[in-house]
Amino acid sequence: MEQVNVKINGVSYEVPADSTILEAARYAGIDIPTLCYLKDINQIGACRMCMVEVKGARSLVAACVYPVNEGMEVFTNTPKVQESRKMTLELLLSVHDRKCLSCERSGNCEFQKLCNEMGIEVENRFEGAVPAGKKDYSTLYLERNNAKCILCRRCVAACQNQHVSVIGANNRGFDTEIGCAFEKPLGDVSCVACGQCIVSCPTGALTEKDNTQDVIDAINDPEKIVIVQTAPAVRAALGEEFGMPIGTNVEGKMVAALRRLGFDKVFDTDFGADMTIMEEAHEFLDRVKNGGKLPIITSCSPGWVKFCEHYYPDLVDNLSTCKSPQNMTGALIKSWYAQKEGIDPTKIVSVSVMPCVAKKFEIQRDDEDGAGLPDVDISITTRELARLIKRAQLNFARLPDEKFDDAMGVSTGAAVIFGATGGVMEAALRTAADVLEGKDLESIDYTEVRGTEGFKEAVYKVGGMDVKVAVVSGLSNADALLKKVRSGEADYQFIEVMCCPGGCVNGGGQPIQSSVNHSFYDIKKLRAQALYDQDKNMPLRKSHQNPVVQKCYEEFLGEPGSHKAHELLHTTYVKRGY
């Protein structure tokens, strides 16, 4: 890579020639402050927090968009630079809702952090009229409070990056607000509930719809049996909320925390992931053998499903009819488990902890009530679980490692990797290959579909036939692939789509990392590695080898694809259009 020589604050550095000043400074260990910048998402130089002096330039320049060149001299901390940044923060704060103590992002707000670091007083020399700010509570999964918005446009860029683009800047000047076209509420447009806008927001302007009080109320109701399940990606990220390194697997401490919060049973959604593979592999083989609709496309990601319903309704029939692991687990809790334990299912409150805000939407969908009751009653995000733990004053780092309850706590490595892009495909191939070959295959690592790249493809010889597969994550990649499927240009038999870039580990309900951390760490890769490491060390790595799954089929469901399995574990979709 070509390098250039630059001076930053009088010190010489050699940096990549294609760097911006911001990137060059960060190579040098200098964190120029930003608000609108987010690596690979938003680089527009709008917030003016990253202004620096460049020798020979007539005015300050925006470091996030200004390229370096040979011999450039940059100054990042002069009185002129400091005054510019301070004025920017004061002006933003003058029209900002300053209820920081009650804000969900307090302590993890990039705007608040910069104000603290720059010594900005709440009452400053600029006293603007704080706007009431439009609030949008129209969806089941997300809330917007524009009084806390600093117009950085990160959320707009994230939505565009997802190829959805249902939000943007409305009006001009002091009246500018982020919202939907024609001032429509978010619930009336084709938002897919991915939540990438939330994890991109530097303030508390965007949050998931908080259901923590619903959980507390259920736990405190003596008439209710409250059962919780946790998705695989949660264990790979929850520790970040308590100061642990990115990619720390905290499964044992998470289980211990859930017990201490008062849940009656703590189950693993990985059990439902193993069930999903049993049903999905059967469905795939059935379509291949009997001329069914191909390619079959996975249905575990509710944001992706909603995207397909809105933007590709003609391909809805290609979706697997399998419910997601969340709802399969929920359905079996209120049927098989309730029957085994002699529990009235109407007394069960089924709670899920998910890396995803779209799961809040999913549990409200039609045909997600296999036992005649909602499969899942309350879905909360990883962030909401962290809030519950903090509210209960649990010292997370000092909790012991405990195991899930047995009834639905047994799972395989195939289920664990569901949280990473390519994981569902690899898990399905492990089972489908054994079924088609009629034996227990030793080679089960399908590394070609691993990795955080947005698009991967491979051809596998399975049971004497070539199976061509594709894996995409992020809806811009899904959109490009679906255009080829629609036109007939793509000839895959099996496609995995994950709504969020990198899969569930990078879901809209996961812990929010700063723009600085996004610059230095491949967050989704580190979280995914935690899951692959767990898979590698598990005694069982194929879904059909799960003894509790086998028992469930033997004594309750019959066999994969049975009538009862379809009633409980499969669902239907809606051709929504725009």
The answer to whether the CB of 319 falls within 8 A of the CB of 573 is yes
Distances (CA, A) of 516 to 22, 382, 403, 519, 530: 11, 21, 35, 5, 22
Query: CA 46, CA 33: separation in Å to the nearest integer?
Result: 13
The answer to whether domain 93-208 has CATH 3.90.320.10 is: no
Domain with CATH 3.30.70.20 in the chain: 93-208
Query: CA 570, CA 16: separation in Å to the nearest integer?
Result: 52
CATH code of the domain made up of 213-569? 3.40.50.1780
pLDDT confidence of residue 123: 74
The answer to whether the CB of 548 falls within 8 A of the CB of 407 is yes
> Which CATH number does the domain 3-77 belong to among 3.40.50.2300, 3.30.450.60, 3.10.20.740, 3.20.20.60?
3.10.20.740
pLDDT confidence of residue 134: 80
pLDDT confidence of residue 325: 98
- Reference 351, options 252, 415, 263; nearest CA is 263
Domain with CATH 3.10.20.740 in the chain: 3-77
Backbone Cα Rg of the chain: 25
Q: Which tokens belong to 80? A: 């002129």
| Local mean pLDDT, 10-residue blocks, the chain (578 residues) | 94 95 94 96 95 95 97 96 96 91 95 94 75 85 95 97 96 91 95 98 97 98 98 98 98 98 98 96 90 94 97 96 98 97 97 98 96 97 98 98 93 96 95 87 90 93 86 97 94 96 98 95 97 96 96 96 97 90
pLDDT confidence of residue 332: 98
Query: CA 87, CA 47: separation in Å to the nearest integer?
Result: 12
Residue 393: alpha-carbon gap to chain centroid: 26
Q: Which tokens belong to 468? A: 């061509």
Q: Read off the DSSP letter of residue 186.
A: G
pLDDT confidence of residue 132: 67
Residue located via tokens 């703590």: 266
Count of C-beta atoms within a 10 Å radius of residue 529: 18
The answer to whether the CB of 540 falls within 8 A of the CB of 431 is no
Residue located via tokens 């191939």: 429
The answer to whether the CB of 286 falls within 8 A of the CB of 551 is no
